[in-house]
Amino acid sequence: MSYADERFIANCKDIIENGFSDEGMNVRPYWGDDHSPAHTIKQFGVVNRYDLSKEFPIMTLRKVFFKSCIDELLWIWQKKSNNIHELKSHIWDSWADENGSIGKAYGYQLGVKHIYPEGEFDQVDRVLFDLKNHPESRRIMTNIYNHHDLHEMGLYPCAYSVTLNVTENKLNMILNQRSQDMLVANNWNVCQYAILLHMFAQVSGFEVGTLLHVIADAHIYDRHVDAVKRIIELEPYDAPKLWINPDVKNFYDFTLDDFKLIDYKYHEFNEKIPVAI
């Protein structure tokens, strides 16, 4: 069984059996087809730990669109873009303006340069500089939840902060997330930041370590509950192997072709899943 499946099943069962329903509350999200409120069952403070040295944490209970997942990651962290015209998928379409911009969100925040004693860096380049020059530092982190710019964002960041830490030549990461749609986005985000940790480790000369995923509000939308129940009753497969092109030594040289899954088996899940806006 894939460990990612194990954690997903455990998290979803706990939410369904013990979670809090916000039915009747004045919630912000709504369903795009009829604009009715999108209510959830939720748990506060879900923490999952993935040892990336053992396996790549991708679900097998349903297919994760691995290449699209990485494409969005590169769009945010490598291109530092906020325009959906530079993204191959359409997952951000609902939050973009007529020009394709999602405002001062996600990649935009990572690309803003700041002045440090060592020079001028944006957040990604600061991480790369510190991993090379100060791997013992406890200050290697990023944060894109910029209160000054929230009013100019199409969507407030969900996954908003990472902290990197080197211990015994292993690079570890904490991903902080304020809100998590378990069915639509949980394993998508886990895969993305597992890939990001692999990328940072490879170009900095470290072994890959632990991804710690901290979710403040882990929820299942009301229209997703039945689908989640069906999915978590399936029998998971073993996790696939991750291949990353070992010749890439520069963070900005990675492309989609530099990542592959070997022996990825998954259950087909062809139901159309509504997405809350």
Annotated binding site: 138-139, 178-181, 189, 219-221, 276
| Residues linked to residue 167 through DSSP beta bridges, in sequence order | 170
Longest dimension (CA), the chain: 54
Distance between CA atoms of residues 7 and 109, nearest Å: 31
- Cβ atoms < 10 Å from Cβ of 45: 9
For residues 48 and 6, the answer to whether their CB atoms sit within 8 Å is: no
DSSP 14-52: HHHHHPEE-TTS--S-BBTTT--B--EEEEEEEEEEEET
For residues 142 and 162, the answer to whether their CB atoms sit within 8 Å is: yes
Its sign, for the CA torsion 120, 159, 246, 65, is negative
For residues 157 and 188, the answer to whether their CB atoms sit within 8 Å is: no
- Catalytic residue, chosen from 12, 69, 158, 191, is 158
For residues 179 and 219, the answer to whether their CB atoms sit within 8 Å is: yes
To the nearest 5 percent, what fractions of the chain are helix, strand and coil? 35, 25, 40
User: What are φ and ψ of residue 241, in 5° steps?
Assistant: -95, 140
Reply yes or no on whether 69 is catalytic.
no
Task: Give the pair of three-digit tokens for residue 99.
Answer: 């020009």
Task: Give the pair of three-digit tokens for residue 136.
Answer: 């013992």
Q: How far is CA 277 from the centre of its chain?
A: 18
Task: Give the pair of three-digit tokens for residue 100.
Answer: 């394709």
What residue type is 130 in one-letter code? D
Binding site feature residues for dUMP: 138-139, 178-181, 189, 219-221
Residues tagged active-site: 158
